[in-house]
Amino acid sequence: MRIGVDYYPEHWDKKLWEQDADLMKQTGVKVVRLAEFAWCRMEPKEGEFDFSWLDDAIDILTSRGMKIVLCTPTNCPPLWLYEKYPDAIQTGKDGNKIAIGIRGHRCYNNPSFLKYAKRIIEKMTSHYAGNPSIIAWQIDNELEANFCFCEHCISEFRDWLKEKYGTLDVINQTYGNVVWSGEYSSWEQIKPPFGSYPNAWLNPSFMLDFNRYASDNMIKFVKMQSEIIRKNCGNVPVTTNTWFCENMPDFYKTFEDLDFVSYDNYPVTKIPENKEEYYSHAFHLDLMRGIKEKNFWVMEQLSGGLGCWMPMTSAPHPGMIKGYSLQAFAHGADTVVHFRWRTAATGAEMHWHGLIDQSNVPGRRFHEFEDLCKTAEKLSEIEGTKIKSDVAILYSSDQEYAFKIQPQTEGMYYFEQLKAFHDAFTKYGVNVDIINWSVNLNNYKIVVAPTIYVTDEKVTKNLYEFVKNGGTLILTNRSGVKNEFNNYRMEMLPTVFAELIGAKVSEYDPIGYAEQKIQMKDGSEFTCTRWCDILETTTASVYATYGDSFYQGKPAITRNSYGEGMAYYIGTVGRKALYSHLVQNVLTECNIEHFDHLPYGVEITVRENESDKYYFVFNDSDKACDVMLPNQLQDILTGDIFNELRLQPYDMRILQGQSIQ
């Protein structure tokens, strides 16, 4: 297992390079990522290329055994380019160009930008072609599905719509443009969502398509780059470092043609006081692994307190630097690269802390990082192991977009719905995959499909098949609401899922932040909030009823046998305790190995190969705790055999054994 660092030779006096490389070698750093923002040094003047400084940096690092990830520098074009082509910068919602001198500000469709972007990628990749130390290429940096409103982007958007719908009549009909007299009579009238109106004022069908287009448009930019890299650098794997941003692309399409997923992982360093907050960083890691349904990399990993974009955050507590990297391994990362080697001493990112402080004196965080590197070196036996899960949670960017376009009620967020279930399964030490909503579900026993609000025929069919063949499915409120165009379905909710869940929604009550009670059929009582679907059963049995309001006594949760399987419908949003109770029942019912009594914050995941299982036991809390193991298991680092473990805060133990139950 490999640990790496993000390094910026161009930020430092050359005298430091050798010293840094020596220390990296001594520490056990195996991978160094370079150059994602260094265009102005690689092409200081139009058409004058200089890779000599980067060659020197690469020589210094590789002569000490480090492998290199090189990045295309297209995130930050040099100022000479903007001077010559001011239109290469994005146009904002107000129709004006955004400011030069920040980053990520180039327009993916601007012909001048693209001409120069292609040329620098071409030059860079042919210069480094065949260099055996380059083990991967990263495209750009933290790409977003940008909303640019320039003439090129407007015309791309129109082309995207022409391709999808063919004629204006079809668009008018599909979007229901007659509402508020919005029917198009010429293509020129189609404009992206300019102006300062909130999204919620705009046509939801149009807005969903605009989000889909913005994602496809970013992906086109990724494809342009990967084609050049592959042409010149053959089999060197290509990735892009993704993250959870404002305008998220469709992750599955983004990585379809790339070799592996890489993710920027910055777990929060302040422990939330509110225990209802979903804070396990494992959620994001599981989602990343699910994108290509295989192991991934972390390309930027927490190294110190965050800052620069915001007031500085709390310093990572002792144990977090090492613990959160090992947590990434536990969830399927094979390489973790820390951002960044040293805190920047100049420039906009000055307060985002690196492993070494600006003083250049290695301190507490660095020593913890050293310890991490030594540990990672001893983990060769888990290389190639994979995570197998019986449980999957479905994610879809259509839902994410649609919920943002039309928030359903106060406090209800799509991601919160997914996190609620992830948190509950994690609490029982169960591996969870978060996967594309449209993939094959055959290998799972339990599938949670939170709020399938925008429906899709293939997905609906998949879910029916899954349950028919013996799977257990959990659906939630706001399912079946919209068709694929983000228009209401004119049927009783949950429309296409009514037969599967054996119930219908006769009415609903969006209660926002208010709280009510629900009673489970076993007598236990829980709090619900945000939304209440008032259910009427057809073939389902009642699992819980409402305790308050005009629908007191009416079904809130139902359970329906369908084919060989079972479909649950949760018509409301619970507090953590509700999901915990329900998930425990479902895990037991489905006979899935789990832990009933893990202390708060403890996570257990399993990586395995044909012969062995490795249990990663992690304390994601600031309190020491004891974990009882049902079997004796062996610590792969110390050789000690345990059936009871004392874990310090953020402590990770990797234990080997056949089965924990």
- The catalytic residues are 142, 300
- Residue 157 or 352: the one with the smaller Cβ distance to ligand GAL is 352
Give SS3 for 179. helix
Give kind and range of the element (H or E) at residue 646: strand 641-647
Q: Contact 38/73 with Cβ under 8 angstroms?
A: yes
Question: For residues 348-367, which are near ligand GAL according to CB under 6 A?
Answer: 349, 352
Q: Are strands 333-338 and 391-395 parallel, antiparallel or unpaired?
A: unpaired
Contact status: 286 vs ligand GAL (CB under 6 A): no
- Alpha helices in 148-281, H assignment, sequence order: 151-165, 168-175, 204-233, 251-256
Contact status: 339 vs ligand GAL (CB under 6 A): yes
Give kind and range of the element (H or E) at residue 2: strand 2-6
Contact status: 10 vs ligand GAL (CB under 6 A): no
How far, rounded to the nearest angstrom, does the alpha carbon of residue 633 sit from its chain's CA centroid? 32
Contact status: 416 vs ligand GAL (CB under 6 A): no
Query: Is the alpha carbon torsion for 164, 167, 173, 175 positive or negative?
Result: positive
Q: How far is the CB of 627 from ligand GAL (least distance, A)?
A: 34
Q: Are strands 625-635 and 652-657 parallel, antiparallel or unpaired?
A: antiparallel
What letters, b where the CB count within 10 A reaches 16 and e where it falls short, cover 194-223? eeeeeeeebbbbbbbbbbbbbbbbbbebbe
- Residue 304 or 555: the one with the smaller Cβ distance to ligand GAL is 304
| Binding residue (CB under 6 A) for ligand GAL from 308, 439, 577, 625 | 308
Give kind and range of the element (H or E) at residue 368: helix 364-377
Contact status: 300 vs ligand GAL (CB under 6 A): yes
- Cα(216)–Cα(220) distance, integer angstroms: 6
- Residue 288 or 452: the one with the smaller Cβ distance to ligand GAL is 288
Nearest to ligand GAL by Cβ — which residue? 352
Residue tagged 């146009």 (tokens): 91
User: By CB under 6 A, how many residues form the interface with ligand GAL?
Assistant: 8
Would you mind telling me the total number of residues written for the chain in this entry?
A: 661
Contact status: 141 vs ligand GAL (CB under 6 A): yes
- Cα(240)–Cα(140) distance, integer angstroms: 7
Q: Contact 478/454 with Cβ under 8 angstroms?
A: no
Rounded to 5 degrees, φ, ψ at 612 are -135, 155
- Cα(415)–Cα(287) distance, integer angstroms: 11
Question: For residues 29-88, which are near ligand GAL according to CB under 6 A?
Answer: none
Q: How far is the CB of 351 from ligand GAL (least distance, A)?
A: 9
Q: How far is the CB of 308 from ligand GAL (least distance, A)?
A: 5
- Residue 73 or 555: the one with the smaller Cβ distance to ligand GAL is 73
- Name the E strands within 422-471: 432-436, 446-449
| Residues of this chain that bind ligand GAL (CB under 6 A) | 141-142, 264, 300, 308, 339, 349, 352
